[in-house]
Amino acid sequence: MRQLQGTSLCMSIFFLMTSFAVVIVVVITNASKGLSLFSLPSSAWSWSTGGIASLSSSSFSNSSSTDDKSQDGASNKSGLRRSKKKRDEKLGRVEVGLARARALIRDAMINQNRSSPLDGDSDYVPEGDIYRNAYAFRRSYQLMERMFRIYIYEEGEPPLFHTGPCKDIYSTEGIFINMMETNTRFRTHDPDRAHVYYLPFSVVMILDTLFDPVIRDKAVLERIISGYVRLVSSKYPYWNRSLGADHFMLSCHDWGPRATWYVHQLYFTSIRVLCNANTSEHFNPKKDASFPEINLKTGEIEGLTGGLPASNRTILAFFAGSAHGKIRPAFLKHWMGKDEDVRVYKNLPEGISYPDMMKKSRYCICPSGWEVASPRIVEAIYAECVPVLISQNYVLPFSDVLNWNSFSVQVSVSEIPNLKKILAGIPEDWYLRLQQGVRQVQRHFLVNDPPKRFDVFHMIIHSIWLRRLNVAVYV
Ligand SMILES: *[C@@H]1O[C@H](CO)[C@@H](O)[C@H](O)[C@H]1NC(C)=O
Ligand SMILES: *[C@@H]1O[C@H](CO)[C@@H](O)[C@H](O)[C@H]1NC(C)=O
Ligand SMILES: *[C@@H]1O[C@H](CO)[C@@H](O)[C@H](O)[C@H]1NC(C)=O
Ligand SMILES: *[C@@H]1O[C@H](CO)[C@@H](O)[C@H](O)[C@H]1NC(C)=O
Ligand SMILES: *[C@@H]1O[C@H](CO)[C@@H](O)[C@H](O)[C@H]1NC(C)=O
Ligand SMILES: *[C@@H]1O[C@H](CO)[C@@H](O)[C@H](O)[C@H]1NC(C)=O
């Protein structure tokens, strides 16, 4: 911990990356001068085993729920100074808790067989190939449940804030916002106890409400979002303290990334949780998180899950959809109407049901469209059909935790002509393992209302938790 010296504001932010092994130190001398990066790791976040000393797990027990409620908000000078000091102490306590959590997760990574599932984990215990490191995930998930606290700024009115769409292609944006608003486990009303601060705007709602389809002026995003950050950063100390590094926004809209562009710190420093996770557009997996697009036409997932057993799946591969974007035209040109085993349609013929095709196909093809994410990925997972991903620069949802190679097939754009050969060449036992992986991973993509442990809502929260663990804020 650094001491404040005189009036100079001295903050340092440590980014702990690749399995917490690489530490980036960002020192800000004088907030207005911005960031200076001393070192940057080259690889993205991953959970491989690292060689870092561990703490004993018992040291964790006292870190949460010991905060007292303080009387902040005094209006005179000495009162302010005192409440600032108290606030710094509270930040210190928050950071001590996070440091313990990092150490415990590292411990679980290194001493795999020592970290047995702990209490409360009886309904589901993550294990197997679908995880990059099941032990680390178990521990991390459990710590998240015990200690993670999210503060939602209360400013802003519906429909632009605090609510969102719960149907159709951007449903996960509204589902998250609405579930977060009513959540009691992770939400705190005391900002001094929070690990992260949520900016609860909905890009979909802002565009639906204010965007003029004729004038097409995207300045509405700038006005609303810049205005909001200006408001919360002048009213509360939290944004300036971390330059936004412990703040997050979430959007499933194609323009989610663009919506954050107008506030430099939001774009480059804050945690952005996006469906459109395109690394060519500055999506940064070290601080940003990818979450899935789920097309809920009725707002319900009833009837969408399940499919034929592997041995009854008679169609090798299936796709139906328009020629959006750059990848699909080439794909359709090559495969539409060309092969009995690779069923590819722009428009499904009368009498053929899209969900039924997914339920009886072995592989479901999920090429990127206008943007990198595709709702087909989750549709395939629901239908227990092995997804075949054809995309570029796409960071897959929850790929910080999930090992996508164990339940999907990735085919590069240049291999589109070889698609059938690749899929038909996968041995039966490997296919069965992939399909088993799809069935196992399904729970992480399910939408439950109210949310259930390990479902899509909790996985999103967990992604945010990991990004927060990557940052330490010191004042
Ligand atoms: C937890 O707090 C109690 C009482 O404050 C203290 O006696 C104990 O040593 C603490 N345990 C740990 C692991 O810090
Ligand atoms: C300033 O605030 C402190 C603590 O709230 C209080 O004790 C003190 O009397 C106040 N001073 C003035 C001048 O209001
Ligand atoms: C893990 O298991 C192996 C073999 O079962 C054993 O040799 C090793 O000591 C164990 N490590 C820990 C940390 O328990
Ligand atoms: C945060 O910084 C901005 C810009 O420097 C400033 O206008 C604002 O008053 C600061 N907020 C607080 C709470 O001090
Ligand atoms: C799968 O196929 C077998 C015979 O090939 C049939 O007996 C069984 O009913 C089928 N199962 C389903 C769920 O369609
Ligand atoms: C990803 O971003 C790059 C750069 O803007 C863009 O050219 C590409 O089309 C994007 N990918 C998709 C699938 O939209």
Which atom belonging to ligand 4 lies closest to the Cα atom of 236?
13
Mark residue 184 as left, alpha or beta (left: phi above 0; alpha: psi -120 to 50; beta: remaining): alpha
Structure tokens at 428: 């039966």
**Alpha carbon 222 to chain centroid, angstroms:** 23
Mutate to test the pocket of ligand 4, among 72, 232, 234 (most ligand atoms within 8 A of CB): 234
The pLDDT value recorded for residue 283 is 97
Q: If you measure from the C-alpha of residue 456 to the centroid of ligand 6, how many angstroms do you get, rounded to a whole number?
A: 26
The model's confidence at residue 65, banded by pLDDT at 50, 70 and 90, is very low
Nearest protein CA to atom 5 of ligand 1, as residue: 62
Q: If you measure from the C-alpha of residue 195 to the centroid of ligand 3, how many angstroms do you get, rounded to a whole number?
A: 35
The model's confidence at residue 363, banded by pLDDT at 50, 70 and 90, is very high
The pLDDT value recorded for residue 80 is 61
pLDDT digits (tens, 9 = 90+) for 34-48: 222 222 232 333 333
Which atom belonging to ligand 3 lies closest to the Cα atom of 114?
14
- Amino acid making up residue 51: G
The pLDDT value recorded for residue 19 is 42
- Whether the predicted pLDDT of 225 surpasses 70: yes
- Whether the predicted pLDDT of 356 surpasses 80: yes
Mutate to test the pocket of ligand 6, among 253, 281, 331 (most ligand atoms within 8 A of CB): 281
Structure tokens at 287: 């601080």
What count of Cα atoms within 13 Å lies in the side-chain half-sphere of residue 442? 19
Integer Cα distance of 4 and 305 in angstroms: 55
Sign of the alpha-carbon dihedral angle for 239, 240, 246, 252: positive
- Whether the predicted pLDDT of 385 surpasses 90: yes
Residues 440 and 119: beta-carbon distance below 8 Å: no
Q: If you measure from the C-alpha of residue 60 to the centroid of ligand 1, how many angstroms do you get, rounded to a whole number?
A: 10
CA-CA distances (angstroms) from residue 288 to 45, 246, 397?
A: 11, 12, 11
Nearest protein CA to atom 5 of ligand 3, as residue: 113
pLDDT digits (tens, 9 = 90+) for 387-437: 999 999 999 999 999 999 999 999 999 999 999 999 999 999 999 999 999
Task: Output phi, psi for 265, to 5 deg.
Answer: -70, -35
Integer Cα distance of 349 and 285 in angstroms: 40
Does 308 sit in the ligand 5 pocket, CB within 6 Å? yes
Which residues are CB-contacts of 353 (< 8 A; sequence separation ≥ 6)? none
Cis amide bond preceding 367, omega within 30:
no
Structure tokens at 437: 């992986």
What count of Cα atoms within 13 Å lies in the side-chain half-sphere of residue 418? 9
- Residue that wins the pLDDT comparison between 8 and 238: 238
Around ligand 4, the residues with Cβ closer than 6 Å are: 233-234, 237, 240
Question: Which of 67-71, 281-285, 293-297 shows the lowest per-residue confidence on average (mean pLDDT)?
Answer: 67-71
pLDDT digits (tens, 9 = 90+) for 120-131: 556 899 999 999
Cis amide bond preceding 427, omega within 30:
no
Q: 């000091």: which residue's tokens?
A: 85
High-pLDDT (> 90) share of the chain, %:
71
The pLDDT value recorded for residue 473 is 86
Q: If you measure from the C-alpha of residue 258 to the centroid of ligand 4, how many angstroms do you get, rounded to a whole number?
A: 24
The pLDDT value recorded for residue 314 is 96
pLDDT digits (tens, 9 = 90+) for 5-64: 322 222 223 333 334 432 333 333 233 222 222 222 323 333 332 222 222 222 222 333
Q: Is 183 helix (H, G, I), strand (E, B) or coil?
A: coil
- 15 - beta bridge partners? 24, 471
Integer Cα distance of 470 and 97 in angstroms: 13
Question: Which of 67-76, 99-108, 340-349 shows the lowest per-residue confidence on average (mean pLDDT)?
Answer: 67-76
Which residues are CB-contacts of 376 (< 8 A; sequence separation ≥ 6)? 319, 321, 364, 365, 366, 387
- Residue that wins the pLDDT comparison between 70 and 155: 155
- Residue that wins the pLDDT comparison between 295 and 68: 295
The pLDDT value recorded for residue 353 is 95
Mark residue 370 as left, alpha or beta (left: phi above 0; alpha: psi -120 to 50; beta: remaining): alpha
Nearest protein CA to atom 6 of ligand 2, as residue: 79
pLDDT digits (tens, 9 = 90+) for 285-323: 999 999 999 999 988 888 889 999 999 999 999 999 999
The pLDDT value recorded for residue 331 is 97
Q: If you measure from the C-alpha of residue 21 to the centroid of ligand 6, how many angstroms do you get, rounded to a whole number?
A: 31
- Amino acid making up residue 37: L
DSSP assignment letter at 69: P
Nearest protein CA to atom 6 of ligand 4, as residue: 234
Nearest protein CA to atom 2 of ligand 1, as residue: 62
**Alpha carbon 393 to chain centroid, angstroms:** 16
The pLDDT value recorded for residue 122 is 67
- Whether the predicted pLDDT of 119 surpasses 80: no
